[in-house]
């Protein structure tokens, strides 16, 4: 940043040296913030326009449709099985380590 006052007499004109990576991170963060703000505004306007009851009934109805989709059910079942298997594996490894002590 600024080492001393002699490097930059007028702080408003002085440009801070930022690496291209920092600039990309700042840009990505501001884009994500903008997108989240737009989504929040759309959600609030939808709730106001449709009414709270109608909005949440529609969301619930859509969630039920997605939940009844066979692809989603298969993916959910596979994820549950994977988690159970990994949990059992980790428990067995911890038990083996503790029994070896």
How high is the pLDDT of residue 47? 87
> Looking at the predicted structure, is the pLDDT value of residue 50 above 90?
no
Per-residue pLDDT tens digits for 6-35: 555 555 445 556 667 777 888 888 899 899
Which of the residue ranges 11-15, 64-68, 79-83 has the most confident prediction, judged by mean pLDDT? 79-83
5 — phi, psi (to 5°)? -70, -25
**pTM as predicted:** 0.42
CA distance to 5, 12, 48, 49, 74, per residue, from 88 (Å) = 62, 60, 47, 49, 21
């Amino acid at each position: 940043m600024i080492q001393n006052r002699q490097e930059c007499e007028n702080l408003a004109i002085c440009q801070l040296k930022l690496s291209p990576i920092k600039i990309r991170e700042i840009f990505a963060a501001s884009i994500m913030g903008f997108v989240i703000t737009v989504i929040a505004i759309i959600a609030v306007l939808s709730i106001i326009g449709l009414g709270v009851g109608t909005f949440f009934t529609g969301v619930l109805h859509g969630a039920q449709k997605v939940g009844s989709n066979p692809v989603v059910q298969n993916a959910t079942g596979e994820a549950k099985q994977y988690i159970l298997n990994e949990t059992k594996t980790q428990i067995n490894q911890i038990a083996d380590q503790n029994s070896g002590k």
